[in-house]
Structure 1
Amino acid sequence: MSTDSKLKVLVVGTGGVGTMACVALERSGMATVTAVLRSNYEKVLRDGFEIESINHGKLSAWRPSHIVNSVPESDSDGPFDFVIVSMKTIPEITNINKIIAPSITTDHTTIVLMQNGMYIEPPVMEAFPSNVILSATSYIGAHERNGHIIHDDPDYFHIGAFHNPRLDTQHEKQRLDLFATAYNGCKVVNAEVVDDIIFYRWRKIMWNGIYNSMCAITQLDNAAIRRLGGEDSLIRPGMVEMAAIAKADGYDLGENIVDEMVNATPIELSFRPSMLVDVDKGNPLEVEVILGNALRIARQKGVQTPILDNTYRFLKLIQARLLVARGHLNIPEDILTGDFIYIVHQQ
Structure 2
Amino acid sequence: MSLSKLKVLVVGAGGVGTMASVALERSGMANVTLVLRSNYEKVAGDGFEIESVDHGKLSGWRPSQIINAVPEADTNDPFDFLVVSMKTVPEISNISKIIAQSITPGHTTIVLMQNGMYLEPPFIEAFPTNVVLSGASYIGAHERNAHIIHDDPDHFHIGAFHNPRLDVQHEKERLEAFTTAYNGSKAVNAVPVDDIMLYRWRKIIWNGTYNPICAITQLDNAAVRRCGGEYSLIRPAMAEMAAIAKADGYDLGENIVDEMVNKTPIELCFRPSMLVDIDKGNPVEVEVILGNALRIAREKGVQTPILDNTYRFLKLIQTRLLVARGHISEPMDVPRSDFI
TM-score norm. by structure 1 comes to: 0.95
The code of the aligned residue for 1:31 comes to A
Secondary structure of the 1:5 match is coil
Shift of 1:75: 1.1
The code of the aligned residue for 2:115 comes to N
How many angstroms apart in 1 are the aligned matches of 2:136 and 2:328? 30
Shift of 1:157: 0.4
How many angstroms apart in 2 are the aligned matches of 1:218 and 1:301? 29
Secondary structure of the 1:29 match is coil
For structure 1, the 5+ residue unaligned runs are none
How many angstroms apart in 2 are the aligned matches of 1:122 and 1:6? 29
Contact 2:210 2:234 in 1 (8 A): yes
The code of the aligned residue for 1:148 comes to H
Shift of 1:329: 1.2
Equivalent residue for 2:216?
217
How many angstroms apart in 2 are the aligned matches of 1:199 and 1:265? 20
Residues 118-267 of structure 1 correspond to what in structure 2 (within 5 A)?
118-267=117-266
Residues 46-61 of structure 1 correspond to what in structure 2 (within 5 A)?
46-61=45-60
How many angstroms apart in 2 are the aligned matches of 1:141 and 1:304? 32
Equivalent residue for 2:73?
74
Secondary structure of the 1:135 match is strand
Secondary structure of the 1:129 match is coil
Shift of 1:343: 7.8
Q: Does 1:313 align with 2:308?
A: no
Shift of 1:67: 0.4
Q: Does 1:18 align with 2:17?
A: yes
How many angstroms apart in 2 are the aligned matches of 1:135 and 1:154? 19
How many angstroms apart in 2 are the aligned matches of 1:33 and 1:285? 28
For structure 2, the 5+ residue unaligned runs are none
Contact 1:330 1:342 in 2 (8 A): no
How many angstroms apart in 2 are the aligned matches of 1:341 and 1:308? 24
How many angstroms apart in 2 are the aligned matches of 1:342 and 1:38? 26
CA separation of 1:160/1:199 partners in 2, compared to 1, >3 Å: closer, same or farther? same
Secondary structure of the 1:329 match is coil
The code of the aligned residue for 1:316 comes to K
Secondary structure of the 2:86 match is coil
1:50-101 deviation digits (Å, cap 9, x = unpaired):
1111111111111000000001111176100000000100000011001100
The code of the aligned residue for 2:291 comes to G
How many angstroms apart in 2 are the aligned matches of 1:46 and 1:270? 35
1:165-222 deviation digits (Å, cap 9, x = unpaired):
0000000000000000000000010000111000000000000000001000000100
Contact 1:329 1:343 in 2 (8 A): no
Contact 1:330 1:343 in 2 (8 A): no
Contact 1:132 1:172 in 2 (8 A): yes
1:36-62 deviation digits (Å, cap 9, x = unpaired):
000000000111111111111111111
How many angstroms apart in 2 are the aligned matches of 1:173 and 1:153? 28
How many angstroms apart in 2 are the aligned matches of 1:306 and 1:60? 48
The code of the aligned residue for 2:13 comes to T
| Greater Cα offset, 170-179 or 4-13 | 4-13
CA separation of 1:139/1:41 partners in 2, compared to 1, >3 Å: closer, same or farther? same
The code of the aligned residue for 2:85 comes to S
Runs of 4+ that moved beyond 6 A = none
Secondary structure of the 2:232 match is helix
The code of the aligned residue for 1:136 comes to G
How many angstroms apart in 2 are the aligned matches of 1:75 and 1:119? 30
Superposition RMSD on alpha carbons, in Å? Answer: 1.3
How many angstroms apart in 2 are the aligned matches of 1:322 and 1:88? 15
How many angstroms apart in 2 are the aligned matches of 1:13 and 1:341? 27
1:289-347 deviation digits (Å, cap 9, x = unpaired):
0000000000000000000000000000000000000001121xxx7xxxx34489xxx
Percentage of pairs with the same residue: 79
How many angstroms apart in 2 are the aligned matches of 1:14 and 1:219? 26
Secondary structure of the 2:208 match is helix
